[in-house]
Amino acid sequence: MEKLLVANRGEIALRIIEAARELGLSTVAVYSEPDKTQLHVQLADEAYCIGPKEPEESYLNLPTIIGAADISGADAIHPGYGFLSENSHFAEVCEGHDIKFIGPSSSVLELAGNKLESKKIAQKAGVNVLPGTDGAITGVKELKEEAERLEYPLILKAAFGGGGRGMRLVHDEEELVNGFKSSTKEAEISFGNGDIYLEKYLQQPKHVEVQVVADEHENYAHVGERECSTQRRHQKVIEEAPAPGISDTTRDELREAAIRIASEYGYNSLGTVEFLVDRDENFYFMELNARIQVEHPVSEEISGVNLVKDQIRLAEGETLEPESYANLKGHAIEFRINAEDPEREFLPSSGRITLKQIPGGHGVRFDTWIYDGAEMTPHYDSLIGKLIITADRRYDAITKAVSALRRFEIEGIKTNVGLHLDLIRQKEFRTGDYSITFLEEFMERSGGERV
């Protein structure tokens, strides 16, 4: 590889550009018309406009992105996360154009994108899955029969895709039928496939995921696990590593299960195996995210490795060195800083940003695309940056986080910084004894919206 095209925007595009340069690669940025002043455009060696503001006509426009690669002479493409990162067809097209796709093979992506098939793979690996339907629901009659068999509460899930889209929690038949219709429609719009399946809903579980690393030579390693239970509408808000509130025995079993699942897939890149863990520490496989995750920095902080660089190296065919991930120490917490107003039902906020003060110092990392005078547009994700706090102990990381969050002074847009401060002051968070309902329960206590 000599030249890498970054098929993304925002802070992850900057991380990829930085990693590529450290590896001696030149970089190519692509951008939509509203993003012409974005930092990734300014910092890449070359940049090409790929269309208007609509993602379907720019960042999701496969022919235009491949065209930019051809024009620039890029021999590799990194998709980042979101957009085309888990699109098996995109990976297949890259392979057909002799362009190295930085991620797993198209065949693995296709397999990982099918949640029903993924559950079967987990079972082959000897890992528990939640009771549910064996295939996609074909109609309302089957829907009602399966719901009666599984018993409420249940959750409707899209068979393809992720990010919480197409997902509905249902408690009775009326919610079930209405939810099935809306979930099917949302899945069709979001993923081009409306297949929906039913699964037993686990009450107040933890959402714990394991970062795995795999090469093309069937070598596998893990970089510990992450706690991701602080969520709003199935979207993660705070992540930390290692996961608090679980025993060392369960921790080891989760890590070993993730490796078995990755091996069963024939995985060959960075990936994340996600689990639900109940109050008795029984755990169940959810899905394999076949890309780098938004929350990967907390794993970097406790391991001392650069996962983005490693992902590129793995794509070049380098052999994995498991011992390089073995020295996990300290505790790291990531706060997703979003341009939104929690006091107005998390309404997205846009405008010209004025940076008065941002936190820094030992153990304080801020991965962001914003700068003084940057324009936050309403066209894309509301994420403006990720604050990552690292310390020797979890208690110290939380204390340091309070200080760092208080130092944020950003004008021109609303942010969720105040919400983060409120959340980490809660007893449940400080003890580590919280589940995926934590944020919802906090909002109810504080008189906010039901999330």
Give the integer Cα–Cα distance in Å for 17 and 133: 43
- Span 229-278, pLDDT tens digits: 999 988 999 999 999 999 999 999 999 999 999 999 999 999 999 999 99
Among candidate residues 200, 229, 248, the one where a domain is terminated: 200
Q: What is the pLDDT of residue 446?
A: 83
Residue 448 pLDDT grade (very low, low, confident, very high; cuts 50, 70, 90): low
Q: Which two tokens stand for residue 238?
A: 């705070």
Whether 428 and 282 share a structural domain:
yes
CATH code of the domain covering residue 159: 3.30.1490.20
- Distance, CA of 143 to CA of 116 (rounded, Å): 16
405 shares a domain with 300 = yes
Statement to judge: residues 285 and 216 lie in one domain: yes
pLDDT the model gives residue 451: 41
Residues 167, 56, single domain; the answer is no
User: Are both 277 and 423 inside the same structural domain?
Assistant: yes
- Among 62, 87, 102, identify where a domain stops: 102
Residue 28: strand pairing partners: 5, 46
Q: Which pLDDT value is given to residue 163? A: 67
User: Residue 297: inside a domain, yes or no?
Assistant: yes
Q: Are residues 362 and 285 part of one domain? A: yes
Report residue 345 as tokens: 């039902």
397 belongs to a structural domain: yes
Q: How many domains does the chain have?
A: 3
430, pLDDT greater than 70: yes
Q: Which two tokens stand for residue 233?
A: 């509408």
CATH number at residue 54: 3.40.50.20
Burial class of residue 381 (count of CB atoms within 10 Å of its CB; 0-12, 13-18, 19+) = middle
Q: Does 171 fall in a domain?
A: yes
Residue 165, pLDDT score: 80
**What pLDDT, on the 0 to 100 scale, is given for residue 191?**
80
Q: What is the CATH number of the domain that holds 275?
A: 3.30.470.20
Whether cis (ω within 30° of 0) applies to the bond prior to 359 is no
269 and 163 in one domain? no
> Does 244 lie in the same domain as 282?
yes
Are 164 and 196 in contact by the 8 Å Cβ rule? The answer is: no
Considering the domain boundaries, does residue 123 fall inside one? no
With 70 as the cut, is the pLDDT of residue 450 above it? no
Contact 330, 302 (CB under 8 A): yes
Which range marks the domain in which residue 49 is found? 3-102
pLDDT at 362 over 50: yes
Q: 42 - beta bridge partners?
A: none
Last residue of a domain, one of 160, 185, 200: 200
> Are residues 213 and 193 part of one domain?
no
Residues 143 and 184 in one domain: yes
Per-residue pLDDT, averaged over 62-66, amounts to: 97
Catalytic positions are 291
Q: Is 9 part of any domain?
A: yes
